[in-house]
Every structure is written in structure tokens, then in C-alpha cells.
Copies of this chain bind each other. A is one copy, B any other.
Amino acid sequence: MPEARITAADVARKAGVSQPTVSRVFTPGSRVSPDKVARVREAARELGYLPNTLARSLNTGRSYTIGIVLAYLTNPFYPEALQILSERFSARGYHMMVIFAQNLEEEVDGVVENLMAHQVDGIILASVSMSNSLTERLRELSMPFVLFNRGQEDRSLPAVTSANYAGGYLAGQFLVAGGHQRIAHVAGWQKSLNGRDRQAGFEAALAEAGQSPLAIIEGAFRRDVAAEATRALFARPDPPDAIFVGNDHMAFAVLETLQSELGRAVPGEVSVVGYDDVAMAAWPSYDLTTLRQPASEMADATVTMLLGMIEAGDAPSGRLEIESPLILRGSARIPEGWPRDAASPSRLIQGDPK
């Protein structure tokens, strides 16, 4: 029966030093004489000692843990982002506590309180809504947080998104330039600013060309709803010749409904443009033209922003929008002379406290 719990005091005793010296050996930046370092490390190795992170956190006030709240992983953009975020945080010495919450303000608020009780150093809210009272609470407690892939009306809230309006605009511009006359939109969830921004950009591009959307149907970021929307669009006497879909996850359902169920040629009869550029978009079955949300850059920006607040005490920096280039593939007709590298510019919107 081996020792139940090895503490710094045990190591100290074995190495013939004091407990604080053991602590210093395991605290980068502390100065300890080389011989004691060696003795302590040797003793620690023999005993199998590991510093208790909880005790450490309790008196430093830093847990090196980041809480992340997610709505779901069904949309493959989130697994991609989650893994990258985790790896970035790991590289900076942080761990990630992952919690799923349905996208209800009430539930998210409870989850966030839970994370705060766990003394996380910061919180990432990925694609979930939070109540204003919670936002206030986080601010008062100066708990660092960043919204990931989810903006809110208040542009002063720290958030990292892609340039959704610009991306939607680019999608619209692209489809108009492709000579499409009846362009429909299967929109994202209307309670999501992401979805509304993409839609607004899309509509602006069409308006600028003197067009208006053939139809706009909410897809709620769900496959089944998007498939149903597609059926509805093609039950019309004047079906669309192009569809801009609010994200790739829905676009796959739209494509499948068009091809397997409605027998429409893509892009011959209908062009389809998505949003996200998840890995699957490049697979042969879909070959989807789409706007790329660069998960890697978004994760980098999120980590930088959050750790800036935590470690450097940076003030919350408002919303950061990452450039969202159009990736040309085979699901949409490519206009003559369309540049291969068209992209919407990235930009930082400084928050103006409402």
C-alpha cells in the first residue's frame, strides 16, 4: 500500500530542507542553490511528488484554468475551434474546462456562475447568449471573458468573430456577378448576430446591384430546418437559381436535398454558397464554395485577447472581426474574371461604451 498523498513537506523531510524550499524549487523564478535543487528534485522523483495545483491556486489566486461554454458540437466548426483553442491554451500553460449549455440565457448564466465558483481565470463563451445582468456581473467582478463566434449588440463587449457583414456582402456580390437573377437565402438563427450580420451584408450587396432576395427563410443553423427550407424554395413557381446559406452545416443539407431529393444540378441549375469553410466543405461530396472563418486565426485572437486581460490586465478591447475570404470551389458558378483571392478586409471595431 503506497503513500496516500505526497506533500511538499514529505519531500522537504526526505531532502533535508524546509517546505518553502521545495516550493521554490517548483516555482520558476525563485532562486535556490543548485545542490538543494538537485536534492529536492531527487527526493520528489523518488516519492512521486506532484505539486497540488488546487492549493497553489488557492493562495496565488490564479488557477490557470479557462472555462469555455459551448452550445453544441454538431456544427463541425466547433470541434475544430475547440481543439485549436485547447492547444493554444495548453501552449500557454492553461487548461480548459468545457461545459455545454443550451442556448438559453438562464442556463448559460448558471453555467458561468459555476465556472466562477471554480475560480477560472477567464471564460470563453462560444456561440451562446448571456443575459445583460450576467455581463454586468462579470464586469463588476472583473472576470475576463471573450465571446467567440458570437457578437452582441453592445460592440464594446470583447468578442472575436469573422467579418460577417463583409462576408455576407461578398457572397451576395459574388452571386450577382455570376449572373444569378433569383437569389435566395437560407438564413442563420435570427437570434444570432452572426446570422443577422451575414444576412444584412448579403442584402446590401443585392440592393447595390438593384436586386432583392427572391426569398429569405430562417434555417436556425439546423440541418433539418435548412432541408425543409430548400424544399419550400423549390416548391415555388419561380425557384431560385442561387442560394446563400448561413453556414456550411446547413449548406450540406441544402446540397443534399437539391441533389438527392430534388434532382437539381449544382452549379448548373443552382449555385450554393456556404459560410465557415469547415474541413468537410473541401470533401469531394460537397466541394462547397464558401466563406472561410479561419478557426485558427480566430482562436489565436481569442487566446491573445483573453490572456491579455488576465496576464497584462488589458482593458476589454471590443469586437475583433477576422477577415473572411471567399473560397472558390465547385458548388457555385464562378463569374468571368473573378479574382482568385477576393477577400473581405479584417478590421477591429473599437468598442464605444454605449
**Binary interface encoding of chain A residues 36-70 relative to chain B, with 1 for a CB under 8 A from any of its CBs, else 0:** 00000000000010111111011000010100000
**Which residues in chain A, 183-239, are within 8 Å of chain B measured between CB atoms?**
none
Kindly identify which residue among B58, B83, B100 contacts A73, using a CB–CB cutoff of 8 Å.
Answer: B83
In the complex, the answer to whether A100 meets B80 with C-beta atoms within 8 Å is no
A123 vs B73: C-alpha distance when bound (angstroms): 22
Q: How far is the CB of A2 from chain B (nearest CB, A)?
A: 5
- Check A140 for interface membership: any CB of B closer than 8 A: yes
In the complex, the answer to whether A54 meets B63 with C-beta atoms within 8 Å is yes
In the complex, the answer to whether A82 meets B73 with C-beta atoms within 8 Å is yes
The 5 closest A-B pairs by CB, nearest first: A73-B79, A260-B284, A256-B284, A79-B79, A50-B117
- Check A95 for interface membership: any CB of B closer than 8 A: yes
- Check A30 for interface membership: any CB of B closer than 8 A: no
Q: How far is the CB of A69 from chain B (nearest CB, A)?
A: 11
- Check A116 for interface membership: any CB of B closer than 8 A: yes
A48 vs B90: C-alpha distance when bound (angstroms): 31
Kindly identify which residue among B57, B119, B141, B283 contacts A252, using a CB–CB cutoff of 8 Å.
Answer: B283
A113 / chain B contacts, CB cutoff of 8 Å = 50
A74 vs B117: C-alpha distance when bound (angstroms): 32
Q: How far is the CB of A86 from chain B (nearest CB, A)?
A: 5
A76 / chain B contacts, CB cutoff of 8 Å = 76, 79
In the complex, the answer to whether A55 meets B53 with C-beta atoms within 8 Å is no
